[in-house]
Amino acid sequence: MLEAAPGADVEAIDLSLRRTAPPWSPVRSFGFRTRRDGTVQPPGHIGPTEFADEDRWVPTFDHWWVFPADPRTGILSGPVRAVFEEVRDDPSVKKIVLLGSRGLKIGGDNVAVVASESAAGQMYGLRAGTFLCTIGPRADVNHPLGRRHHRFVDLGRPTGLPPDLVALGGQGLHGERPMPDASYDARLTRAVVTSSDAGSAAADQHFPDLDTDGVWAIGSPRVDLLLRDEDALSPELRGELATLRGWLDGRRLVLLSPSTGRELDLAAVARWAGQRESEVVVAVLPTSGALPRVPPPPVDLMDTRFPEATVGLRVPPVAEMVWRLADVLVSGTPADPADFSPLGRPVVAAPGTSGLPFAVPADTEALLTAVETARDADPSYLARGQGLHAHSDGHSAARFVRRLKQTYLPREEWLSETEIVVSDA
């Protein structure tokens, strides 16, 4: 570009591309090389026909753990983020963060952050022993890796309720990629994290080919992000909380989490919010992959133009940090109210939502009335949600790390040897 326009501000262009383009686009664009004979070599990827052989012969390492960004939002969040926070500074674990539709900056010790759709993403994926999944192996990692050589662990349905899913971020015509076969994803899964007896029973029914000891009833790591003391969070998450808290400036936060984006009359919500701007902030945070059009004054937290221009965040915030500040959650799915229940705050269902143990508003007017009067959580909702998280106490991620390390480290033998040495002394 400088050859054609010597005065062009290429640094600003480069920063903009790296901030706004899907990670795989600059990886591929900057991956072209000129050979000595002047011909151009495009960036190399392993093709579908070659992947099975590569997966068979490339060595895998148990201490290499893959943390895929949520395939619906492109953000490293939820239970996968909670486990990452637990081992962020653990040098014994090689942490591979696979980027999806957004570029992210993640700190830590022995961390590699690479685009999933890149040669580096393929290389790390082939060598990693364990993959942590929110939706499923093929949904989270868009490579044909086999369960024979890799352990896929599902963290996304600890209560037995499936995570909400409308679309996956990707390279399609509209920025989406096709949905994988859910039943095949279930068969690839070798272990699943549960948070209650009900979740364990549902896991046995949904995942037909788990390992013999593949149900890990240790609680939901996602709840750790809600219950952990703020001082114990990483600097990145504390920074997000402080930024969001300053933006709220003491106002109540009503958080809308629509499932499809069509079950809420956002125009009517906007009129309601416009009359209460001095006391209430309405934010929309769809974590299902839906992309509803959000009219102001409600803010779309998944639209990078808002967080960057308004609160100084270059990427959308981690959903659980917004939940920590929400006074009321409006949800269109049964799973999120269950996960929100450990906070003890009220939830209002979007019209048409099924499978909830409390009343569902008939229309948007009834929903807004319920939001206005929501000060205390419905006891039946709290009892059901907290019952589904019977094993979740804010330390589930630590239990998960110990459980996973036990699959490849002789911890019990080490402990017994330590006891012998101590007793002999």
Q: Where are the domains of the chain?
A: 58-219+395-405, 230-388
pLDDT, residue 11, reads 86
Non-local (6+) Cβ contacts of 113 within 8 A are: 97, 99, 104, 105, 106
Task: Judge contact between 298 and 85, C-beta under 8 A.
Answer: no
Tokens 């009067």 appear where? 373
Topology given in CATH for the domain delimited by 58-219+395-405: Rossmann fold (3.40.50)
pLDDT, residue 72, reads 94
Phi, psi of 264 (to 5 degrees): -115, 135
Task: Judge contact between 183 and 138, C-beta under 8 A.
Answer: no
DSSP 163-211: PP-S-EESSSTTSEEPPP-HHHHHHH--EEEESSHHHHHHHHHH-TT--
pLDDT, residue 140, reads 96
Q: Is the dihedral of CA 172, 258, 78, 165 positive or negative?
A: negative
Omega of the bond prior to 297 within 30 degrees of 0, cis?
A: yes
pLDDT, residue 39, reads 74
0.85 exceeded by the pTM?
A: yes
- Rg, C-alpha atoms of the chain: 23
pLDDT, residue 207, reads 97
Quote the strand ranges of 35-140, DSSP E.
Answer: 40-41, 61-68, 94-99, 111-115, 128-133
pLDDT digits (tens, 9 = 90+) for 37-57: 777 766 556 766 777 888 888
pLDDT, residue 315, reads 81
Interatomic CA distance for residues 142 and 218, integer angstroms: 28
Query: Fold match between 58-219+395-405 and 230-388?
Result: yes
Instruction: Select from 300, 325, 324 the least CA-distant residue to 310.
Output: 300
Low-confidence ranges of the chain (pLDDT < 70): 18-31, 41-45, 47-48, 171-175, 306-312, 411, 414, 418-425
Q: Please tell me the CATH superfamily of domain 230-388, with its number.
A: CDP-glycerol glycerophosphotransferase, C-terminal domain (3.40.50.12580)
